[in-house]
Amino acid sequence: MEQRYWWVNQNQTYEQEVKGQYLWSPKHRSDGTRNPFYEFMREVAPGDVIFSFSDTHIKAIGFAKSYAYECPKPIEFAGAGKNWNQIGWKVDVAFQEVANPLRPKDRIEQLRHLLPERYSPLQENGNGIQNVYLTSVPPALADQLLSLMDRSVSNMVRETNALIVGAEHAEKKSDVLEWEDHIEQSILEQGDIQETVRASLVNARRGQGLFKERVKLNERQCRITKVDNSIHLIASHIKPWRDGDNNERLDGENGLLLTPSIDHLFDGGFISFENNGELLVSPRADKISLAKMGVPVNEVFKSGSFSEGQKHYLGYHRKEIFLKVS
């Protein structure tokens, strides 16, 4: 997969993100509308290089270690981003601060002609752009930025990248599990629902129990691998368990029967489905790995029809989970 370069403005959250080794953004603006600079989080892939810009300087270089995944707003943000949504995108990043930060404004004459017309990280006078969080950096601009920094930075980019590729999602599980554990505990403490319902909601998190029985009313086999032995199938939520309310967590139409590897790809946003059954494969996914897991990546693949309820939930999955490229 082609390596890409990114620019992140961290004036509010530099200390938290660089120290914590991650990027985090809301999914949407406070009014619920889409923000391209948050959407770019879904395009980052392991091995991508990230220029960290704060206080008018590029102060650190980062190397993406994961794809974007859903994660609550970090508690260490405290008062930063008071109007941000509580659930957003997180990318694990290996950040390294540079010894001699570069102030792009001082070298704008060498950079101006390389700035992209759309979603530029800088104004033509070299000042930053306040409403930009994450944006793509064209390779020519990235090369020029690196050439203006210490040679040690270029060497670091070349040497560190080789160590990062293939280490994606090394820390994802702990973040997501902690979030889901918190939700599960809150369900167990709810006094206004029956014990049997609480048990069903907890089992649904694991794709088992009442939820799986309800999914089996619509589904008979894995949509991709065609495995039809229920023992080897997980009832995978289309709208993730962590995102839904209690009704959605037990709604059989909010589910597909998938083998574990396909469940992993679907939950992580590497694949999705159109309402007509056509398989969608994310441009950010490793197609070689997907092919080894039985995903037909080089052909149009129809997985079969969906119910109206499933189509409703698939719309959420495509909009909120599927990893896209603009």
The pLDDT mean for the chain works out to 91
* Extents of the domains making up the chain: 5-170, 192-320
**pLDDT (tens digit per residue) in 164-180:** 554 444 445 577 888 89
Q: By percentage, how much of the chain surpasses pLDDT 90?
A: 76
d(CA 255, CA 235): 6
Q: Are 102 and 126 in contact (CB under 8 A)?
A: no
Q: Which of 138, 139, 110, 135 is nearest to 124 (CA)?
A: 110
pLDDT at 170: 46
pTM: 0.86
d(CA 271, CA 80): 33
The residues, ordered by sequence, that sit 6+ positions from 315 with a Cβ below 8 Å of its Cβ are: 275
49 Rama class: left (phi>0) / alpha (psi -120 to 50) / beta: beta
C-alpha separations of 234 from 146, 260, 302 in Å? 47, 6, 20
**Residue appearing with tokens 């660089």:** 18
56 Rama class: left (phi>0) / alpha (psi -120 to 50) / beta: left
d(CA 166, CA 306): 34
d(CA 322, CA 284): 10
The two beta strands, 234-237 and 57-64, are unpaired
**pLDDT (tens digit per residue) in 67-102:** 999 999 998 987 776 778 788 999 999 999 999 999
pLDDT at 80: 73
CATH number of 5-170: 3.10.590.10
Statement: residue 228 has pLDDT above 90? yes
**pLDDT (tens digit per residue) in 260-298:** 999 999 999 999 999 999 999 999 888 999 999 999 999
For the segment 147-164, the average pLDDT, to the nearest whole number, is 78
